[in-house]
Homo-oligomer: A and B are copies of this chain.
Amino acid sequence: MSRTELKTVLSPDELPRNYYNILHDLPEPLPPPLDPGTLKPMSPEPLLRLFARECVMQEVSTQEFIPIPEEVREAYLRLGRPTPLYRARRLEEKLQTPAKIFFKREDLNPAGSHKPNTAIPQAYYHRKEGTARLTTETGAGQWGTALALASALFDIDLTVYMTRSSYEQKPYRRTLMEVYGAEVFASPSRRTKAGSKFLDKDPSHPGSLGIAISEAIEDCVTHDDTKYSLGSVLNHVLTHQSVVGQEAKVQMQQFDADPDYIVGCIGGGSNFAGLSYPFMRDKLRGKSGAQFVAAEPKAVPSTTKGSYRYDFADTGETTPLLKMFTVGHAYQCPPIHAGGLRYHGKAPSMCMLIDKGYMRSVAYSQNEVMEAGLTFAQTEGIVAAPESNHAVKATIDLALECKRKGEAKTILFNLSGHGLLDLKAYEDKLGGRLVDYEPDQAALSASMSAVPRVG
């Protein structure tokens, strides 16, 4: 085996120069966000109070390519882009599969996940537009960490509202954000009316991502110099992530390989959109027969057991309604270790692609995915995030299917993050203490009953 069969590394000048925006190529226009009061399409103007103007423009743009600013490209280089693409030879050998398995390394930056791909441009645009301070929410902490890092690089103050249960269970995630200079509060907090309301009811309220969003937005709109930043679901976020797939396309060509399967895990959908949309572009143009496989947890089965309809993007019912696969914004996401996949809905563009059959999805229990993670660590040497292990599990299943059928297919998956701050999940798996969750029909019906009835 020659060494170049193991990985490809792009040079700094091969970093993409444009973001790819899939709204240019969707089979039909994306259903617009609706005002929850009037159920009429919303204009983007109210978003300008929260987001960077450039991000709002990108959110509604159908322009195919959006130039990446030079300052953003420089920050990407500093944080490890372009990232390598590996062939998982030892995993293939372990599985005795004729399939070729490749994976993109989005775990190699200091924040440890794909999240800086959008945190960097968001911080940059805010800085350029004069924002002095940002607020955001974080659950497991990956997004908060990435935005703290990006804010440090662009000298913006950052306040993070972190779900109290995570704040207490994952003190080192909090420390990491503080190392980058961010101010981190357990949510619900006494700093906002929204938070106080929940604390009045329950002084030891564990919090939720929905409450943290409400607090971050209230903090933003009540401070003149402050704006807000979001880490997934929205179009502009997915567009920023397209650097992943653009690099991967070049790298797969260097391997002289063309993926038959493109695989990723989905929470909001941004890491898988990042890898897959540049390949999906070919499929939407009839130039590719690749299959796209999105893996989600059985505990939060948005696309496998949910419905494709309008729902709130947050638990607190403060956002516009988005057309997406959802298990209902009132769904109580079980405490699985893959915290980044604990979201009731999914990105609207990805949901349309799933609904129209361009992409399919599978669901796994956390024991299954952590078992796959152990196999991956012991063969490829890399300890993946519990979220990413959903993609590893789906990949292993496809490779074993290839083995049964004797098909030498090519599989590409996104290694969206490392698991060094999630070793509790591995400890619980090794100790046989990992609990699986799966909602029954009654639980799903209950949470779906709170979804607004539209049209």
Which residues on A are within 8 Å of B, measured CB to CB?
Answer: 1, 3-4, 6-7, 9, 11-13, 15, 73-74, 77-80, 84, 86, 90, 108, 110, 112, 149, 152-153, 171-172, 175-176, 178-181, 374, 377-383, 418, 420-421, 423-424, 426-427, 430
Residues of chain B with a CB closer than 8 A to A74's CB:
1, 3, 6
Which B residues are in CB contact (< 8 Å) with A149? 381
Contact B12 A12 (CB under 8 A): no
Residue of B nearest to A382 (CB): B110
Q: Secondary structure at chain A's binding surface: helix, strand, loop or mixed? A: helix
Residue of B nearest to A15 (CB): B3
Which of B77, B110, B175, B426 contacts A175 (CB under 8 A)?
B426
**Cβ 8 A contact of A77, one of B3, B80, B112:** B3
The reply to whether A180 and B9 contact each other, CB–CB distance below 8 Å, is: no
> When the two chains form their complex, are residues A383 and B176 in contact, meaning their CB atoms are under 8 A apart?
yes
Could you jot down 8 A-B contacts, CB within 8 Å?
A1-B74, A4-B13, A108-B108, A149-B381, A176-B383, A179-B423, A179-B430, A180-B377
In the bound assembly, the distance between CA atoms of A180 and B110 in angstroms comes to 22
A173 (CB) vs chain B CBs: closest residue? B423
Q: Is the CB of B152 within 8 A of A378?
A: yes
CB-CB < 8 A to A374: which residues of B? 179
- A181–B108 CB distance below 8 A: no
User: Residues of B contacting A426 with CB < 8 Å?
Assistant: 175-176, 178-179
Contacts of A90 in B (CB 8 A): 78, 153
Asked if B13 contacts A12 (CB within 8 A), the reply is no
Q: Tell me if B3 and A73 are in contact (CB < 8 A).
A: yes
5 new A-B pairs (CB below 8 Å) besides A3-B13, A179-B374, A179-B423? A6-B78, A9-B12, A80-B108, A175-B423, A420-B421
Residues on B with beta carbons closer than 8 Å to the beta carbon of A175: 423-424, 426-427, 430
CB of A429, distance to nearest CB on chain B (Å):
9
CB-CB under 8 A from A7, the residues of chain B are: 12, 77-78
Closest partner residue, chain B, to A422 (CB atom): B172
Chain B residues with CB under 8 Å of A378's CB are: 152, 179-181
| Of A3, A15, A181, A426, most B-chain CB atoms within 10 Å | A3
CB-nearest residue of chain B to A176: B423
- A73: which B residues are within 8 A, CB to CB? 3
**Chain B residues within 8 Å of A382, by CB:** 110
- With both beta carbons as reference points, the residue of chain B lying nearest to A8 in the complex is identified as B12
Contacts of A11 in B (CB 8 A): 9
Contact status A112-B3, CB under 8 Å: no
Specify which chain B residues have a CB less than 8 angstroms from the CB of A423 in the assembled complex: 172, 175-176, 179
Distance of A149 Cα from B376 Cα, bound (Å): 12
Query: CA of A4 to CA of B380 in the docked complex: distance in angstroms?
Result: 30
Closest to A425 in B: B175
The 9 closest A-B pairs by CB, nearest first: A172-B423, A175-B427, A175-B423, A3-B12, A420-B420, A110-B382, A152-B378, A179-B377, A110-B381
Given contacts A74-B1, A426-B175, whether A152 and B420 have CB atoms under 8 Å apart is: no
Residues of B within 8 A of A181 (CB): 378
